[in-house]
Structure 1
């Protein structure tokens, strides 16, 4: 990946560049002291990933990213001394944000998240899975077997070796573990957001970032679901694509 570092502090830029050297697949393509010089340089030397300081003289890093058209916006890792910028980072679809002083392990983790996000971008529009996704569930209601269309299920919650299907304020117990359901559902419509939860993408009304890089997804009916940092990239990719609306 071609990388730019945008930070008004020379020492901070040097620290990022030194850490980049540990990753052979990352190539420094530009170093900028402010947003205006980045605006002039990046069209000439475009990059895949930018490390962007939030607080800079003139236009700050968030304003610079917001001014770019989404199609022209590189993957971005924000550099900041304040965790409260997490909400804006999610709104601008930033890959991650690193708190200063930068921790080496967190730097490597953010880089790996950027690699995954790039693979997702490159894989967008890939062919549908060869195995047809599950279309309906058979659940027990007393002595009856009731068949529930998969497209009606809003979210699924782990319950030991079973799963709870949530539909319109009601829940149905299914004798199947969550990890097995995750393999059988349509991945274009359903995303795992936590080790104990799967959500239908078009049921997500809003996403609220948390300081530890987890998030809270609030469904249209008001239900809050914890989104683990492990699964946030997959959910953001589906939300960006408008998946689950058809």
Structure 2
């Protein structure tokens, strides 16, 4: 079996570790470098000439698109963008034959991307690859120039209106959310705020690297996890900041298992 020399790029250590753990399951993938920023990615592509790069888009200073711009056409590997972008960007990728996987990472989409890379490898045209990538990037940028057509996912604040009072919550302060009918209860800074929205709609606005659904009606901010206790039947309790506790159902336990793989010290060693 031909192995694809692969580089993974993400500025979030948690996301980088998660991507690595998922890719290591595939015999056709040989991870030759892990890069924490765009500068490292450019240097690694130049030095190692990989076959495939899994590339995060949203990175500071030099983002994923900048990496493509700064890569020589004759060295351009097959690229799979890791993105939390909205549909307009996904359409641009599809039109220009550029592969992508959505955050939060899904096993099925990762497997799809690898399968496509395996099929494309023998006929891979590096110069054409960069042409396709640039076409997709320019299509996305043209949409950005008309923000009314977009739903910004990088908005870091949640607006809650209660009568004549408006509260603006920072996403970083939001500890967990639970749904109650047509409303969501937002728990932040020791207070609970009520917002008329569905849990699905709210989740689309939150940073997918930090916020995960752990129950049909509950979202948590992974950054607040202080301890995880395992329960019979594959369920968990997570302590958030040491003061609040949320139950994780078996259906959504994958997010917590992946969190524990990267943060083993967070698990209660006395748990069952």
**TM-score category of the 2 structures, normalised to the smaller one:** 0.3 to 0.5
In terms of fraction of residues, the more helix-rich structure is 2
Q: TM-score, normalised by structure 1?
A: 0.46
